[in-house]
C-alpha cells in the first residue's frame, strides 16, 4: 500500500512571480525573471524576457525571439506537443490550447497527481493553430478572462461576414480593423480569406513582424502590403489591420473617414465598444466564452479548479454552486495584454 498522494497545492502553488512547481524547481508563465520557466504562449503577460532557461513549443520560442530578440532567454528548449520530459522527476508535457499559434497547456505530473495549467485557451475553431485538447486531471488551473455568463462569443466566420457586408455597404470607406497583433490579427485575416475575400489586405507597422512570422511558420494569409508603402488611394475601401491602440491614433487620420472595427470578445458588451468609439464591433475572441469555460472544466473532471486571472469571482461562485471545489489564485499581472 502506498501512502496517500500529497495534495497538489503542497508542491504547485502561486508565488509573487507566477505559479511555482517546487519539486521541479520551475515556474509557469512567471511575471518576473526566473531561472527556469515553462511558457504557455507568446503573449507578453505570459512570456517575458530575461529568464535563464525557457521550455515552450518551437512556435512560442520563435514568437518570443521576434518580440524580444534572439537572446531574450539564457537558453531555449523546444518541446513538441505530446512529448514528455522529466524535470527533477516531475513529468511535463505540452498539449494544444487552441489560443494562438504555439499555445500550449502545461500538464504537470508528480506523486501520482496531475495538474493542468491551461494558459489562455479557447474551444472555437481557429485555422491558425492546433485545437484545444481536453486532458483529464486532478487540478485544472484555468483562466477566466470572459468568466461571466454574459459572454458568448460569435462564430469568427459570422463576424468576418459582417465585416465584408459592411465593406460592401460602404465601399468608399476604409475598414480599419483593430486586432491584437499576435494571434487575433492573423486569425482574422485567415478567416476573412476563408470567407472568400482575396483582395490585398494592408498592415500597420505594429502587426507586420508577427504576421510575417506566421507566414514563415506555414500559415498562408494571402496578399499583404504594408500601409507605409502603399498609396492612400489604393487603400480606400480596403481592409487595414492595425493594433487596437492605433484606431484612435493620429495614424488613423490618413484614411479620411474610416469605419473603425475591433475584433475582440469585449465587443459583446456595447459599453466597451462605445468607450473605444468603435463603429463595427466584431465579437471574435481567442479565449473561451462562459459556456465553453464551464464545459471545459466539467470535461477535465478535475476535483479542484484554480482560477488564475479574469473575472474569477463569478466563476468561483458558480463552480461552488455546482459542487466543484474552486479558488482564485489572483495572479498579479495576467490579462494586462489586450484581448
Partner 1 sequence: MRAFARLMDCLVYTQSRNRKVALLGHYFRSAPDPDRGWALAALTDGVPIRMPLRRMLSDLVSRFIDPVLYRLSRDYVGDTAETVSLLWPDDRVIVPEPPAETRVEADASKPRQLRLALEPRADVPELLAAKIGDNSGELPELSLGAVVAAMANGTTAERTERLGHLLDQLDATGRWALLKLIGGAPRVGVSARLARTALAESYSRDVSEIEEIWHALTPPYLDLFQWLEGNADRPDPGAKPVFRPVMLAHPVEEEDWPRLAPEDFIAEWKWDGIRVQIAARSGDVKMFSRQGDDISAAFPEIRSAFQDQDCVADGELLVMRDGEIAPFNDLQQRLNRKSITAKMMQMYPPHVRLYDLLFDGQEDLRTLPFEDRRARLEAWHAQHHPPLTDVSQLVGFKTFAELGELWSSARAEGIEGLMLKRRAGPYQAGRVKGEWFKWKRAALTLDCVLMYAQRGSGKRSSYYSDYTFGVWKTDDNGDRQLVPVGKAYSGFTDEELLILDKWIRGHTTEAFGPVRAVEPELVFEVAFDAVQSSTRHKSGVAMRFPRIHRIRWDKPAAEADTIESVLKLIGGASSEAAAAAGNPAQTTG
Q: Which of 7, 23, 149, 200 binds partner 1 (CB under 8 A)?
A: 149
Please give the residues from 205 up to 264 whose contact with partner 1 meets the rule CB under 8 A. Answer: 248
Task: List the one residue from 41, 162, 190, 311 that touches partner 1 (CB under 8 A).
Answer: 311
What are the cell numbers at 138?
486532478
Give just the sign of the alpha carbon dihedral 152, 128, 51, 107: positive
In three state form, how does the secondary structure of 71-140 look? CCEEEEEECCCCCEEEECCEEEEEEECCCCCCCEEEEEEECCEEEEECCCCCCCCCCCCCCCCCCCCCEE
User: Which of helix, strand or coil describes residue 143?
Assistant: strand
> Among 279, 298, 303, 328, which residue interacts with partner 1 (rule: CB under 8 A)?
279
Please give the full DSSP string across 4-29, using - where no structure is assigned: PPPPGGGTEEEETTEEEETTTTEEES
- Of residues 120 and 154, the one with the C-beta less far from partner 1: 154
By CB under 8 A, which span of 40-48, 74-82, 135-143, 314-322 interacts with partner 1? Answer: 314-322
Give me the least distance between CB of 95 and partner 1, in Å please.
30
For strand 304-310 and strand 104-110, is the pairing parallel, antiparallel, or unpaired?
A: unpaired
Residue 42, helix vs strand vs coil: coil
**Which residues have C-beta within 8 Å of that of residue 141, sequence separation ≥ 6?**
19, 115, 116, 117, 118, 305, 306, 307, 308, 329
Q: Is 323 in the site for partner 1 (CB under 8 A)?
A: no
The cell numbers describing 322, all together, are 455546482
276 counts as binding partner 1 under rule CB under 8 A: yes
Q: Does 275 participate in binding partner 1 (rule CB under 8 A)? A: yes
- Distance in Å, CB of 305 to partner 1, minimum: 16
* Least distance between partner 1 and beta carbon 274 (Å): 4
Shortest spacing between CB 152 and partner 1, in angstroms:
7
Total residues contacting partner 1 by CB under 8 A comes to 25
Q: Going residue by residue from 98 to 137, which x/- string records binding to partner 1, judged by CB under 8 A?
A: ----------------------------------------
Residues making contact with partner 1 (CB under 8 A): 148-150, 152, 248, 268-281, 311, 313-314, 317-318, 321
Amino acid at each position: 500500500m502506498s501512502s496517500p498522494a500529497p495534495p497538489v497545492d503542497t508542491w504547485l502553488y502561486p508565488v509573487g512571480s507566477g505559479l511555482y512547481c517546487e519539486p521541479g524547481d520551475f515556474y509557469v508563465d512567471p511575471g518576473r525573471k526566473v531561472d527556469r520557466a515553462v511558457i504557455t504562449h507568446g503573449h507578453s503577460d505570459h512570456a517575458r524576457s530575461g529568464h535563464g532557461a525557457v521550455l515552450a513549443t518551437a512556435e512560442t520560442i520563435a514568437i518570443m525571439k521576434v518580440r524580444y530578440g534572439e537572446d531574450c532567454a539564457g537558453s531555449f528548449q523546444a518541446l513538441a506537443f505530446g512529448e514528455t520530459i522529466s524535470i527533477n522527476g516531475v513529468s511535463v508535457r505540452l498539449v494544444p490550447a487552441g489560443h494562438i499559434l504555439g499555445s500550449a497547456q502545461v500538464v504537470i505530473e508528480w506523486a501520482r497527481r496531475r495538474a493542468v495549467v491551461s494558459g489562455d485557451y479557447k474551444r472555437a475553431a481557429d485555422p491558425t493553430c492546433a485545437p484545444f485538447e481536453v486532458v483529464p486531471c486532478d487540478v485544472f488551473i484555468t483562466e477566466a478572462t470572459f468568466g461571466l455568463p454574459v459572454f458568448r462569443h460569435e462564430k469568427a466566420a459570422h463576424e468576418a461576414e459582417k465585416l465584408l457586408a459592411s465593406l460592401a455597404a460602404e465601399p468608399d470607406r476604409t475598414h480599419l480593423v483593430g486586432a491584437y497583433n499576435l494571434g487575433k490579427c492573423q486569425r482574422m485575416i485567415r478567416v476573412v480569406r476563408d470567407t472568400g475575400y482575396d483582395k490585398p489586405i494592408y498592415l500597420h507597422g505594429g502587426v507586420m513582424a508577427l504576421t510575417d512570422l506566421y507566414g514563415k511558420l506555414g500559415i498562408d494569409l494571402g496578399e499583404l502590403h504594408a500601409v507605409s508603402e502603399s498609396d492612400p488611394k489604393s487603400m480606400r475601401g480596403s481592409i487595414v489591420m492595425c493594433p487596437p491602440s492605433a484606431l484612435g491614433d493620429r495614424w488613423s487620420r490618413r484614411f479620411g473617414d474610416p469605419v473603425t472595427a475591433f475584433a475582440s470578445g469585449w465587443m459583446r458588451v456595447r459599453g466597451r465598444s462605445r468607450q473605444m468609439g468603435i463603429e463595427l464591433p466584431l465579437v471574435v475572441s481567442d479565449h473561451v466564452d462562459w459556456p465553453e469555460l464551464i464545459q471545459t472544466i466539467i470535461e477535465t473532471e478535475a476535483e479542484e479548479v484554480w482560477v488564475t486571472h479574469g473575472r474569477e469571482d463569478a466563476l468561483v461562485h458558480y463552480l461552488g454552486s455546482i459542487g466543484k471545489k474552486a479558488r482564485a489564485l489572483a495572479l498579479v499581472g495576467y490579462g494586462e495584454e489586450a484581448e
